[in-house]
């Protein structure tokens, strides 16, 4: 159960970063609340709040089994959650961006 929590902690922490960055830069970015979900853009404020909630969830899940940045099975699972979420988000948003006209 600890590994599941750590995996999703990494996934939520990774997912929170682009939303926080977009929100803090004042740029729109896709969220699950956009139309269409995860393809249309949401406002910078929605992105900041969504990123903030993702970071909070990730930290709460991480607190289930605190992990030091030392190569242990726990740390590897946390990193794998972030890596897999990062790869998926990269591929998803590359497709979303390719479908938009360039400015």
pLDDT at 103: 42
1: pLDDT strictly greater than 50: yes
Q: Which of 38, 22, 48 is nearest to 91 (CA)?
A: 38
83: pLDDT strictly greater than 50: yes
Dihedral angle sign, alpha carbons of residues 19, 20, 22, 28: positive
pTM score of the predicted model: 0.70
- Tens of pLDDT along 21-75? 998 888 899 999 999 888 899 999 999 999 999 999 999 998 887 777 678 888 8
Q: What number is the average pLDDT over the span 3-29?
A: 91
CA angle 37, 38, 44 (to 5 degrees): 100
Q: Residue written as tokens 């607190």?
A: 63
């Amino acid at each position: 159960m600890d590994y599941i929590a750590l995996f999703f902690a990494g996934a939520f922490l990774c997912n929170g970063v682009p939303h926080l960055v977009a929100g803090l830069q004042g740029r729109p970015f896709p969220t699950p609340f956009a139309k269409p979900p995860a393809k249309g853009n949401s406002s910078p404020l929605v992105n900041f709040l969504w990123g903030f909630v993702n970071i909070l969830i990730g930290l709460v899940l991480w607190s289930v089994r605190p992990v030091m940045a030392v190569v242990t099975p726990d740390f590897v699972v946390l990193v794998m959650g972030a890596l897999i979420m990062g790869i998926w988000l990269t591929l998803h948003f590359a497709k979303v961006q390719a479908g938009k006209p360039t400015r």
